[in-house]
Amino acid sequence: MKHLFFQFQKRLVLALLGLSFLGLSACATVYRDHGYVPTDDELAEIVVGVDSRDTVADTVGVPSTAGVLNNSGYYYVKSKVRHLGALRPKEIEREVLAISFSDTGIVQNIERFSLQDGKVVPLSRRVTESTVRDSTFIRQLLNGIGGFSPSALN
C-alpha cells in the first residue's frame, strides 16, 4: 500500500511540474517579422536618375505595394510584432522604404522611414529633388497598417 502511495505522489509531482512548464512556456515572448525591405547593400545597386521601374524590381524584388497616385512609387513595408502569452500582439518596429519615380519611370528618390512615437521619421534619403512627393500616402501607409476596419468601407 505504501508503494502505491509513493507512485501516486511521484506521478502527481510530475504532472504538476509538467503543467507548470506548459504554463510558463505559454508566457514566452515570440517575435514575428512581416514584410520585406531591401538592405542597404541591395539599394546601393540602384542608381538614382538612371534605373527604371523594371530594373528596380529585378534588383531588389517586387514591392509590397505601389503608389496609388499615378503609379508614382514602390513601397516596401516591414514590421516586427511581439506576441506575449494571451496579451494583444504589439507592433514594436515598422519600416517603409519608398522609391519614387519620375513621369518617365526613372528612379527619382529613395527614402527609408520608421515609426517612432507615432511620428514618421526619415532614416535615410537619396533624393534628386528637394521636395518629396506622396508624403501623405506614406503617412497613411504607416498609420493605417493594422488599423483596418470593415466598417470603414461603408
- Which element (helix H / strand E) includes 29? strand 29-35
| Dist CA 29 CA 47 (whole Å) | 40
Nine cell digits for residue 87: 496579451
Q: Tell me how long the chain is.
A: 154
The model's confidence at residue 91, banded by pLDDT at 50, 70 and 90, is: confident
- Give dist(CA 29, CA 53) in Å, integer: 39
Task: Give the distance, in angstroms, between the CA of residue 60 and the centroid of all CA atoms in the same chain.
Answer: 16
Q: Are 80 and 33 in contact (CB under 8 A)?
A: yes
pTM above 0.95, yes or no: no
User: Does 127 score more than 60 pLDDT?
Assistant: no
Per domain, the residue ranges of the chain are 29-147
